[in-house]
């Protein structure tokens, strides 16, 4: 128990009070993971068996990190039996134990979003609907939202409100699509991600004896990121905690930003109503960020009405003020960000991995990417195509899935003719037609062709029989051998390795290397499982892959690179230096969110999350012109900039505060530009310039006494020049900003056209 002394007073309170319901409000950077870890370690050290503790997280990465820390505190043996993992991984485990009660087998497979979209695309085609009206992505989103609110297909079709909304959206057949989608999933012995929560709720609702078994099994329940739970997750947790009431939820209402996924901030705000007599613990000390960043974030979030009051603070250094950079265009914004990252990394000898560029929408990444490439700055886009979404990887995984569950329709359709074996789309359509007629899986039809004569030709039937025998052999192998031996045999016998070896182009070589990397992952899984005495068979590996989250797909070799990501993706991460770009009205906050007080508060929480990702510095940028939907728009700076207490800002003052702007320029902070004495400022008269009639000034054309215009600093006069070539600098006096020394190759100077 000596580890308790490593905690501050508030953290100790959250760790030691283990009995009864507890709400831990954990501000950004306050040691939330440490508190959860130590609370579990405390329970284990008091003799609570690991299998009596249920700990739910939102990412496998978080669960693994907590498991590692707990093992370091109380030993691997004590920590080995914990029920710890993501909501989906824990509930899929329960569902596999209880699958027969719901009409599934314990080997059901799990569709990712792409599998679900493919199935919906097939259903929409079968129903002869217009896929431009019934876009698979939109339909899946509608079905997903229904499932997260525990609306099954039958209830969906019977809801007058839902049907009216679909008709108003000119999509009246979604109820029919939903019903057929669920039927096809059941025939394929498949659940999608949302089913893992929906079916758990159905299991607990329809089988009270099973619910009671798990209620009594878990003496203690801990939930991470409680503000991100949806209604489905909320209800499962509430049911499981009904007997013992030893539930501890940790979260931060100020970081509730996923309502579009169904997350409900009400779950954390109303905890006191769900659990009367609860204990409230507040973790308010931020260990991550400077005092300036924390205080600035507080000044923003204090404007929200829906919140649990807390006083977040930092005892770190004061740090730099939050800098604001203004650009004349989105292209210049990208240039300025890339230039500043390059300057800071060179001046401070800092790795590129210490920089992150955060944006509100994915579309903003293009400009940033182009600017970084021009500066030869390495970068990675977080949330791009993951390793497990690559075609060759999904092909081999489809073989794995069909081996484990031959009824998996999407897996079968994907690889029945890959590598090519003469089984075309027409054959598959005939098999599917018979399957739909008898409401069975395609595999069942394939295995019983003799019962439906005339479906395919004798030659095709022979090819299908060979395919069936191959999959059957894989299934037998999977029951006997470990995951790696099975996986390697599948990759070789199926012909995938041979097929990829034919293509010797760089892309082809890369695809083969990806297959080898997947087999390496299977080998590592098998070795680790064998060492730990765990299940080392292929179904267990496949389960782990199916439940991977975005953060689990990050590749370890992506090290010294600038990170680009949406703010939503950045939650839970931290970087020394953070650029928040596109700080403009109708972009951030986004235009649809400005019409609703609740939506605007969530946008403000999103901005709070962006600010608190930074450890040392925050640089915000905005542009006065930007292309949007093919048209040039001229946005105003985001209201969020003005909502920050001006004491914490450098380079921006809102129109309501008539003070001079002082935008960032490319000077090191330890070597600021020379200030022009007031007496000199008065002696230099500068003419007014018509800014609508300007032309760029080439570096070689800049001469002393020239009157110029700078996009940020305005009208100025060249006082002197120094340096040569790319290092040539100009000392310029500006009417509103005094004297600046600018590097000409980056200065972007303009002068009036000859006839202006």
Catalytic residues: 32-33, 224-225, 255, 613
Residue with token string 């008539």: 658
CA–CA gap between residue 584 and residue 568 (Å, rounded): 17
CA–CA gap between residue 360 and residue 352 (Å, rounded): 21
The torsion of the CA quartet 268, 272, 277, 283, rounded to 10 degrees, works out to: 40
CA–CA gap between residue 145 and residue 556 (Å, rounded): 33
> How distant is the alpha carbon of residue 378 from its chain centre?
21
Q: Are strands 575-580 and 614-623 parallel, antiparallel or unpaired?
A: parallel
CA–CA gap between residue 709 and residue 756 (Å, rounded): 14
Task: Report residue 379 as tokens.
Answer: 């970068």
CA dist list (Å): 452 to 407, 434, 438, 440, 610: 18, 8, 11, 13, 60
Closest C-alpha to 499, from 388, 392, 386:
392
DSSP for 228-245?
Answer: G-BHHHHHHHHHHTTTT-
SS3 221: strand
Taking each helix axis from N to C end, the angle separating 538-546 and 391-404, rounded to the nearest 10 degrees, works out to: 130
CA dist list (Å): 586 to 1, 170, 469: 52, 27, 58
3-state secondary structure 634-668: CCCECHHHHHCCHHHEECCCCCCCCCCCCCCCCCC
What sign for the dihedral angle of Cα 146, 148, 150, 154? positive
Closest C-alpha to 496, from 385, 386, 394:
394
Q: H or E stretch including 549?
A: none
Residue with token string 């669960």: 63
CA–CA gap between residue 589 and residue 610 (Å, rounded): 13
CA–CA gap between residue 25 and residue 268 (Å, rounded): 9
CA–CA gap between residue 572 and residue 172 (Å, rounded): 39
| Residue 449 · residue 464 · CB < 8 Å | yes
CB-hemisphere CA count at 13 Å for 467?
Answer: 24
What is the phi/psi pair of residue 39, to 5°?
-65, -45
Burial class, 475, CB count within 10 angstroms (exposed 0-12 / middle 13-18 / buried 19+): middle
Closest C-alpha to 35, from 25, 50, 20:
25
CA–CA gap between residue 737 and residue 681 (Å, rounded): 10
Long-range own/partner contacts, residues 200-207 (CB < 8 A, 24 or more apart): 200/91, 200/94, 200/95, 200/236, 201/150, 201/232, 201/235, 201/236, 202/102, 202/152, 203/94, 203/95, 203/98, 203/101, 203/102, 204/236, 204/239, 206/101, 207/98, 207/101
């Amino acid at each position: 128990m000596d580890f308790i002394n490593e905690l501050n007073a508030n953290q100790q309170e959250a760790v030691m009070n283990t009995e009864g319901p507890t709400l831990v409000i954990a501000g950004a950077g306050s040691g939330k993971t440490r508190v959860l870890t130590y609370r579990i370690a405390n329970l284990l050290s008091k003799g609570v068996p690991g299998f009596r503790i249920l700990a739910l997280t939102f990412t496998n990465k978080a669960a693994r990190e907590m498991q590692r820390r707990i093992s370091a505190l109380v030993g691997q043996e004590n920590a080995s039996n914990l029920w710890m993992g993501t909501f989906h991984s824990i509930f899929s485990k329960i569902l596999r134990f209880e699958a027969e009660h719901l009409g599934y087998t314990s080997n059901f497979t799990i569709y990712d979003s792409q599998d679900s979209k493919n199935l919906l695309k097939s259903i929409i085609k079968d129903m002869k609907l217009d896929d431009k009206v019934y876009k698979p992505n939109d339909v899946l989103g509608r079905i997903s939202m229904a499932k997260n609110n525990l609306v099954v297909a039958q209830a969906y079709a019977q809801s007058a409100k839902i049907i009216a909304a679909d008709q108003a959206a000119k999509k009246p057949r979604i109820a029919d699509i939903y019903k057929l989608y669920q039927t096809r999933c059941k025939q394929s012995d498949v659940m999608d991600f949302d089913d893992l929560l929906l079916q758990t709720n159905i299991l607990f609702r329809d089988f009270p004896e099973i619910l009671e078994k798990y209620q009594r099994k878990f003496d203690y329940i801990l939930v991470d990121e409680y503000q991100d739970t949806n209604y489905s997750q909320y209800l499962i947790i509430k049911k499981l905690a009904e007997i013992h009431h030893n539930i501890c939820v940790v979260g931060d209402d100020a970081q509730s930003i996923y309502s579009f996924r169904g997350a409900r901030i009400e779950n954390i705000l109303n905890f006191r109503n769900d659990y009367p007599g609860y204990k409230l613990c507040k973790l308010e000390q931020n260990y991550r960020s400077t005092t300036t960043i924390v205080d600035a974030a507080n000044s923003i979030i204090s404007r929200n009405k829906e919140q649990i009051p807390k006083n977040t603070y930092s005892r770190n250094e004061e740090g730099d003020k939050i800098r604001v950079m203004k650009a004349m265009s989105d292209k210049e914004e990208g240039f300025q960000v890339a230039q500043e990252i390059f300057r800071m990394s060179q001046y401070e000898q800092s790795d590129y991995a210490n920089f992150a560029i955060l944006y509100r929408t994915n579309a903003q990444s293009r400009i940033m990417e182009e600017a970084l490439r021009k500066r030869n700055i390495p970068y990675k886009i977080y949330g791009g195509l993951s390793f497990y979404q690559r075609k060759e990887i999904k092909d081999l995984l489809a073989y794995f899935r069909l081996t484990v569950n031959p009824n998996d329709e999407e897996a079968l359709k994907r690889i029945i003719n890959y590598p090519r074996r003469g089984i075309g789309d027409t054959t598959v359509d005939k098999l599917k037609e018979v399957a739909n007629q008898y409401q069975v899986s395609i595999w069942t039809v394939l295995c019983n062709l003799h019962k439906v004569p005339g479906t395919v030709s004798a030659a095709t039937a022979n090819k299908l029989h060979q395919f069936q025998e191959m999959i059957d052999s894989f299934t037998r192998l999977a029951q006997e051998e470990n995951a790696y031996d099975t996986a390697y045999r599948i990759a070789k016998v199926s012909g995938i390795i041979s097929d990829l070896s034919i293509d010797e182009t760089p892309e082809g070589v890369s695809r083969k290397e990806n297959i080898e990397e997947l087999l390496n992952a299977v080998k590592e899984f098998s070795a680790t499982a064998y060492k730990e005495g765990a299940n080392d068979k292929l179904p267990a590996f496949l389960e782990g892959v199916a439940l991977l989250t975005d953060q689990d797909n990050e590749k370890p070799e992506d090290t010294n690179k600038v990170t680009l990501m949406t703010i939503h993706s950045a939650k839970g991460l931290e970087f020394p230096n953070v650029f928040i770009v596109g700080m403009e009205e109708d972009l951030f906050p986004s235009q649809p969110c400005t019409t609703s007080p609740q939506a605007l508060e969530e946008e403000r929480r999103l901005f709070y999350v962006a600010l608190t990702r930074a450890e040392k510095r925050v640089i915000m940028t905005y542009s006065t012109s930007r292309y949007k939907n093919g048209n040039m728009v001229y946005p105003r700076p985001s209201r969020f900039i003005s909502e920050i207490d001006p004491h914490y800002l450098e380079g921006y003052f809102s129109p309501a505060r008539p003070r001079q702007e002082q935008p960032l320029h490319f000077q090191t902070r330890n070597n600021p530009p020379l200030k022009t004495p007031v007496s000199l400022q008065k002696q230099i008269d500068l003419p007014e310039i018509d800014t609508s009639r300007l032309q760029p000034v080439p570096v070689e054309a800049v001469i002393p006494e020239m009157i110029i215009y700078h996009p940020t600093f305005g009208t100025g006069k060249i006082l002197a020049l120094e340096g040569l070539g790319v290092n040539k600098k100009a000392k310029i006096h500006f009417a509103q900003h005094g004297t600046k020394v600018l590097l000409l190759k980056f200065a972007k100077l303009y002068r009036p056209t000859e006839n202006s």
